[in-house]
């Protein structure tokens, strides 16, 4: 069966992750980020939020992914009270494919899916030294909401960054 492409940039295609793609996602995560998760965690997120777990591929090879969750809690924007929030849990593009717009497309496509699920904002945590990722989020209108000291196991701080969705 043809897999449904949801977006394209150049020869790259973005489509929903499927169960058989999860191992490739785990491999990209292992190569690109110090934050790893149990295999179970990926399959759980995929089962619960299949429309916001996307992969990017070229010539049948997966070279990037984004996985997100929908949560309900206090707004990270200057809004009062509770909000339905999209949470970008992890996004990565294999090093040799960066700078071609794939990260941007993964973010935008998952944000559209989170908005369709009723999220009014989106947030994420990012290492304070991760300037490429911070530049990507700023380009997409994310603002720093707070800073979490010693958020990562190695002691580094995180920025919580958030943006409004669907307005
Ligand atoms: N230096 C500075 N900024 C950069 C660079 C760079 N080398 N590369 C990309 N950017 C910024 C720019 O703002 C760029 O926008 P522009 O091209 O319009 O100027 C923007 O990122 C988007 O570039 P893309 O090509 O769309 O993004 P890319 O496909 O390169 O993916 C990503 C960006 C996902 C951050 C990638 O660098 C990556 O995988 N890094 C390692 C993993 C990682 O750090 N993931 C994020 C962790 S935080 C989290 O997961 C919530
Ligand atoms: Zn997070």
* Cβ neighbours for 52, distance < 8 A, ≥ 6 positions apart: 66, 67, 68, 69, 70, 86, 110, 113, 114, 117
132 lines ligand 1 (CB under 6 A): yes
The average confidence (pLDDT) of the chain is: 96
Domain holding 75: CATH number?
3.40.630.30
| Mutate-to-test residue for ligand 1 from 56, 88, 133, highest number of ligand atoms within 8 A of CB | 133
**What is the Å distance from ligand 1's center to 101 Cα?**
8
What is the Å distance from ligand 1's center to 28 Cα? 15
Please give the tally of structural domains in the chain.
1
pLDDT in tens, 81-99: 899 999 999 999 999 999 9
**pLDDT score recorded for residue 92:** 98
Q: Is the CB of 124 under 6 A from ligand 1?
A: yes
Show the domain range for 60.
Answer: 5-164
What is the per-residue pLDDT across 47-67, written as a single tens digit (0 to 9) for each? Answer: 999 999 999 999 999 999 999
Q: Which residues pair with 80 in a beta bridge?
A: none
pTM of the model: 0.96
């Amino acid at each position: 069966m043809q897999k449904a492409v949801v977006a394209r940039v150049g020869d790259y295609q973005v489509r929903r992750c499927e169960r058989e793609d999860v191992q490739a996602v785990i491999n990209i995560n292992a190569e690109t980020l110090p934050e790893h998760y149990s295999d179970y965690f990926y399959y759980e997120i995929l089962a619960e939020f299949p429309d916001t777990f996307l992969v990017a591929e070229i010539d049948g090879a997966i070279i990037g992914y984004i996985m997100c969750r929908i949560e309900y809690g206090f707004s990270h924007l200057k809004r009062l009270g509770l909000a339905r929030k999209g949470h970008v849990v992890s996004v990565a593009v294999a090093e040799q494919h960066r700078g071609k717009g794939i990260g941007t497309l993964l973010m935008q496509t998952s944000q559209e899916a989170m908005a369709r699920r009723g999220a009014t904002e989106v947030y994420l945590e990012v290492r304070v030294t991760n300037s490429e990722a911070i530049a990507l989020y700023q380009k997409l209108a994310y603002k720093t909401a707070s800073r979490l000291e010693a958020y990562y196991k190695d002691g580094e701080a995180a920025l919580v960054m958030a943006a409004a969705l669907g307005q």
